[in-house]
A and B are shown apart, each in its own frame.
Chain A
Amino acid sequence: MHISDGVLPISITVGAYAASAALAAWSVRRTRSEELPKVAVVTAAFFVASLIHVPFGPTSVHLLIPGLAGALLGPSAFLAIGLGLLLQSILFQFGGLTALGANALMMGVPALACGVFFQKLKGRSRRRQSLVGGLAGALGTALAALILALLLASGGEDFFGVAKIALAAHIPVILIEGAVSAFTVAFLVRVKPELLAPAFVQGHPRQPELNAPPQEPPDSPAHG
């Protein structure tokens, strides 16, 4: 769910923009500067992934994937998500231009949190990585829903009802997101485990060339 224009009080709107700009600047500093174009290209893939709808009973939900973005991109995730939301806003009007700061906080902060969560807890075995990945996916969506509800509730008590409904509407998404994230991480562990360490982050030992023949990073158990 994206916040559209004119919903939030103007002070929250502007404050969220300032906070997002600060976080985006931090995200840029943590990304190797020459690889920013690569982050942009990867963002396009995450954008397409977020267009995929999964049926849920009579209706369908689309994936939000802040958890997966955090797990795959680490600190660069905030940048990628901000960029993706800007594109969604200018192309589809999903989330307004004036609400971009609030939307970026809502999706980007959970992504950063999930990135840390995933890298700290992922361990070595395939089962554990996919379990932690699933938890990160569920956690990311839950956090995003919580931040959405808090932002909506900032409008005053008239908005509490809407905030509660928005929170409740995310419960199926949290479950679906968790399951899809777990399966996606399991797939990546089998197919390309080096993707599960953030690729473009400064200070990280340089990843093996992604299109080089697979080689085993010392700490990555391909056959765990």
Chain B
Amino acid sequence: MGDILQIALPAWQFAALLLAPLGLLAGAAAGLRRMLKQRSMNGDNPDWSVPPLADAAGTTLFHRWDVRCKIAALVVYSFLVASLQHLTPALAAVAVSVLALVLARSSLARALMRLLAITGFLAMFLVVMPLSAPAHPGDTVLVVTGVDWLGFNLRGLYKALAIAAKGIAIALLMEPLLTTAPLPVTLHGLTRLGAPDMVGQMVLLSHRYLHVFRHEAERMAAGMRVRGFRKRTDLETLRAVANFLGMLFVRSFERTERVFDAMRARGYRGHFPAPAATRMAAKDLVLAAVWLAVGIGLVIYDRIFWDRIFWDQICW
């Protein structure tokens, strides 16, 4: 700890430092998006707008893991990862998640989709935090020669990188958690863990009708396009979108009544039949224990031993 260490850079170096990672990130995101679009055009999975969750026919460790143990272990582990504060343990968590992806043979494209979804939010942190974090004694700040209102605080960058690593680690873990069993089985496991039965039912129903209403919305949108509607930045577009929404709500509220009648006619009395019997064996519990131990190990490393790492020390 000492004074603020200021490193003056010429303006072009400063700009390069700022823009190069940003350009890299934007390029990576654009490349990813194009790659996913191409894949979906090849016809192996034509519709990515609402990704399906079930990819359940596998025999990997994650597919065979008892669903209750899997949910409990991975969710608690996610919270442990979310509580990390330093970069190195967070990067270790990313490595663990990648290992889990490989073990579960998860679809790389879907994992990349998830990363793409959080890129914008995390990029905001990576850009804003180094520039806005106030300089404390002991910080290293890069400044432009002759400009004193702008400084690139390495501690801010460090914090933003730690956040990004945590976000990536947990997002990657969602594929092994959610797609190694069909959604009804996962939700049944959640119920068996003590969540109210109605939660699982409501998620299932919503998930089912999500696709129905999306198809309906697509039909309505196609109809609007055929009649010459193009989205622009004007009030008329907003009015058309609002009527579209209103119609969607009217139809969906009407549909709920019919859906509910149909459910009752088929014998719905407040719960769905259980999808499968769950059996918990010793090895399921062992795997859960190992997974949690890894998480606790990361937290201990994060809280106690983080100062052994060179860059954690200089940037914190």
Contact = CB atoms under 8 A, between A and B. Distances in A.
Contacts of A8: 82
B274 interface: no
A37 B163 CA distance: 37
Given A195-B249, A199-B253, A5 B166 contact: yes
B72 to A, nearest CB: 13
Contacts, number: 246
Contacts of B278: none
Interface stretch (B21-29, B36-44, B235-243, B281-289): B235-243
Main secondary structure of the interface of B (DSSP, over half): helix
A146 interface: no
Contacts of B263: 37
A117 interface: no
Nearest to A189: B246
B133 A158 contact: yes
A37 B202 contact: yes
A157 to B, nearest CB: 6
Interface in B145-177: 155-156, 159, 163, 165-167, 169-171, 174
A43 B79 contact: no
B103 interface: no
B248 A188 contact: no
B248 A45 contact: yes
B171 A187 contact: no
B254 A40 contact: no
B210 A7 contact: no
A39 B202 contact: yes
Interface stretch (A52-60, A106-114, A120-128): A52-60
Interface string B208-235: 1110111011000000000000011101
- Interface residues on chain A, size class: 35 or more
Interface string B249-272: 111111111111001000010100
Nearest to A14: B79
A211 B83 CA distance: 49
B129 A162 contact: yes
A36 B233 contact: no
Nearest to B252: A45
B277 interface: no
Nearest to B186: A90
Interface string B35-54: 00000000000000111010
A68 interface: yes
A57 B129 contact: no
A3 B120 CA distance: 11
B291 interface: no
A171 interface: no
Interface residues of B, number: 84
A215 interface: no
A142 interface: no
B248 A187 contact: no
Contacts of A48: 210, 213-214, 216-217, 248
B129 A6 contact: no
Among A34, A49, A165: residue with most chain B CB under 10 A = A49
Interface in A183-215: 183-184, 186-188, 191-192, 195, 199, 209-211
A83 B206 contact: yes
A90 B175 CA distance: 9
Contact of B258 (A34, A47, A65, A211): A211
A161 interface: yes
A180 B241 contact: yes
Given A28-B198, A98-B82, A183-B238, 8 more contacts: A5-B118, A14-B79, A44-B210, A51-B214, A87-B206, A93-B174, A161-B129, A191-B246
10 closest pairs, A vs B, by CB? A161-B132, A6-B166, A183-B242, A45-B252, A187-B246, A44-B209, A10-B83, A5-B170, A40-B205, A40-B202
10 contacts: A41-B205, A44-B206, A44-B213, A45-B252, A87-B203, A90-B53, A98-B78, A166-B124, A191-B246, A210-B253
Interface of A: 1-8, 10, 13-14, 28, 34-45, 47-49, 51-57, 60, 63, 65, 68, 72, 79, 83-84, 86-87, 90-94, 96-99, 157-162, 164-166, 176, 179-184, 186-188, 191-192, 195, 199, 209-211
Interface of B: 49-51, 53, 75, 78-79, 81-84, 90, 113-115, 117-118, 121-122, 124-125, 128-129, 131-134, 155-156, 159, 163, 165-167, 169-171, 174, 178, 198, 201-203, 205-210, 212-214, 216-217, 231-233, 235, 237-239, 241-260, 263, 268, 270
